[in-house]
Chain A
Amino acid sequence: MFSFTKKQEVLDISGIKIGGQPGEQPTVLFGGAFFKGIPDFKKTEKDIQNMLDLSKKTGNSSIPDFFIKKEEDVEKIIDFIGNTLPKNQPFSVDIIEPTVKIKVLEQLDKKNLLNRTIYNSIHIGITEKERKALKQHTPDMAIIVAFNPKDKSPDGKIEVLENGAHLTDKGLLAIADELGIKKVLVDTAALAPGDNSGAAISAIPVIKEEYGLPTGCAIHNVVEKSTWLNKYFESAKKTVDVSSNVNIVLFGGDFAIFGPIENADLVFPIIAWQDILVSEYTENYFGVKPAESHPRRKFF
């Protein structure tokens, strides 16, 4: 286990803390809702409640991560967020299509939800219209996806944060700053197996040591795309998917975007267990005190 020499930021969004030295804060867990693009509100309400209950039990904070794919679903989903989530519960909006992103930002502003919003995500594909919308309707926090098509190594991920790898006018961190987004999380951009997928994990300590920013990724995406796992070990797939998130904690990461919210029952105890192990070591060796909400204080 290790500790970073660079001062580590601990960011707060509506009472949830993300970041710090390994063993300091519980790993924050993002569970994906409407993963397949079809909003099933009734089921999702139950899943979210279950995830929030798991947070109470383990101490690992939950962030419901809402996939929004179609413009016609925007209002319904934002209404659902406003009406269903507990009053101070932060959430993230996970959107690819720029026009949908803009509409979501407008709606979030209209419903006074931007102070609880984690915008997922800013990346090299950011458009001018999106930038304008983000300036006008600025979320409290954003995830920056450090994907660099020119270089998928940890260095390549730093390059895209620094200068956009000459694919954007400036680095992604500078873009976020220019847009007025003061709290950023770095997603190390997990890739398909065989395409430098391990770099998403190895980049976590590199980026934390370089910037001190909260860092994590959606490493489960790698498992999801594994053809050999699908072909030969289908029954083990979920186990591998869920346990892949352990890598994030072991490498000093601060959050895991763990995939379908339905996996929460399996992910939370595994991550809580890992947080406890890391905390024991880092407290003994580096004197890092676990936060009040840390799983180690819940169970021991």
Chain B
Amino acid sequence: MEKIKTSVVGSYPMDIDTLGIMMDYFDQNENKSWNNYIKTAVDDMVKAGIDILSDGQTRDPFIQLFARKLVGCRIRDRVEVVDKIRYNGPITVYDQKYVRTVIPKNKMLKGVITGPFTLSKSCINMHYNDEKSMAFDFAYALKQEAKKLEKHVDIISIDEPFFSNEMPDYGKELIEIITEKISCPTMLHACGDVSSIIPDLLEMPVDILSHEFKASPYLLDDFRKYSFSKGLCLGSVRSDNQVVESVEEIVKHIRKAIDIFGDKIVQISPDCGQRLLPRENAYEKLRNLVKAGEIINGR
């Protein structure tokens, strides 16, 4: 059995020194680079022993992170789509390139793209006649980001939490637009209760599926009913609960999943992004995840 890699889903909690930012502004100093925050998040992941890291998505929540850089979106209290959505240049690429410079060579890097359906459901549509056209334009724009990203990361993950609420009949097409002809492995992360859309997920044109099996352990039994041919990233610690799971608890959870998925489990990770957890707890969860992974991998 191949070694199961430890991974993160995307976001990591970070305290931003807003007073320091304002001091720089008043002194008319150039703003200190955001790289400090990225490095702090990444250092935590490295220190915890995670194999596949993200940039921590410290700049913004995952909707604003992409909407901020896309033509056609403007940010008010919520994101508003006010014109045709178009790509306007790299969104996360520079941060990923920076991360590559500060992580050990044996670590892998995960590029995370907020999915087109989730973006379309999260924005206020003030331009398109229908939501579907908006979602497709998001997908075409994100494709360009994926093409740029593939050169700098080891895997690209598309984050589509809204699939668990509603799987549109064009969901597969949206994902296909992004993943087609992408040279690195691809992943679809959909948290929440995905039990009703498992057949759709199994058809998705990605290499790996990623779901929150720890908060929704019943998903293990739901997936058991289907033949599973993709790789699986197993959500193994909760992202919606501050309680840090013990190593034993995580090992037990992974073993149960191995009974069902066997060697299809290629990654273990938190259930979702950890942005809303206290940093200390987020770190401890990663640390225990790594320890559990070591036990599972027979070290």
Q: Which of B16, B23, B26, B64 has the most CB of A within 10 A?
A: B26
Q: Is the CB of A167 within 8 A of B19?
A: no
Q: Is the CB of B77 within 8 A of A150?
A: no
Report A60-74 CB contacts with B as 1/0, cut-off 8 Å: 000000000000000
In the complex, A298 has a CB within 8 A of chain B: no
Q: Is the CB of A123 within 8 A of B64?
A: no
Q: Is the CB of B18 within 8 A of A124?
A: yes
Q: Is the CB of B28 within 8 A of A151?
A: no
Q: Is the CB of B76 within 8 A of A159?
A: yes
In the complex, B31 has a CB within 8 A of chain A: yes
In the complex, A185 has a CB within 8 A of chain B: no
**Chain A residue at smallest Cβ distance from B80:** A155
Chain B residues with CB under 8 Å of A98's CB are 19
In the complex, A168 has a CB within 8 A of chain B: yes
CB distance from B214 to the nearest CB of A (A): 26
In the complex, B30 has a CB within 8 A of chain A: yes
Q: How many residues of A contact B (CB 8 A)?
A: 29
Cα distance A221–B29 in the bound complex, in angstroms: 12
Sample 11 A-B pairs with CB under 8 A, ordered by A number.
A123-B25, A125-B21, A125-B23, A150-B59, A155-B75, A162-B77, A163-B76, A167-B16, A191-B25, A192-B28, A192-B30
**Chain B residue at smallest Cβ distance from A164:** B18
In the complex, A96 has a CB within 8 A of chain B: yes
**Chain A residue at smallest Cβ distance from B75:** A159
The one of B19, B26, B28, B74 in contact with A155, judged by C-beta atoms closer than 8 angstroms, is B74
In the complex, A189 has a CB within 8 A of chain B: yes
CB distance from A153 to the nearest CB of B (A): 9
Chain A residues with CB under 8 Å of B26's CB are 96
Chain B residues with CB under 8 Å of A125's CB are 18-23
> Could you tell me which residues of chain B, from 69 to 95, have a CB within 8 Å of some CB in chain A?
74-77
CB distance from B3 to the nearest CB of A (A): 37
The one of A124, A151, A192, A195 in contact with B75, judged by C-beta atoms closer than 8 angstroms, is A151
Count of inter-chain pairs, beta carbons less than 8 A: 55
Cα distance A168–B19 in the bound complex, in angstroms: 11
Chain A residues with CB under 8 Å of B23's CB are 96, 125
> Could you tell me which residues of chain B, from 19 to 53, have a CB within 8 Å of some CB in chain A?
19-23, 25-26, 28, 30-31
Chain B residues with CB under 8 Å of A112's CB are none
Q: Is the CB of B19 within 8 A of A166?
A: no
CB distance from A230 to the nearest CB of B (A): 13
Chain B residues with CB under 8 Å of A156's CB are 75
Q: Is the CB of A127 within 8 A of B75?
A: no
4 extra interchain contacts, Cβ-Cβ under 8 A, other than A149-B21, A189-B25? A149-B25, A150-B59, A151-B68, A221-B28
Chain A residues with CB under 8 Å of B64's CB are 166
Chain A residues with CB under 8 Å of B25's CB are 123, 145, 147, 149, 189, 191
In the complex, A171 has a CB within 8 A of chain B: yes
Chain A residues with CB under 8 Å of B298's CB are none
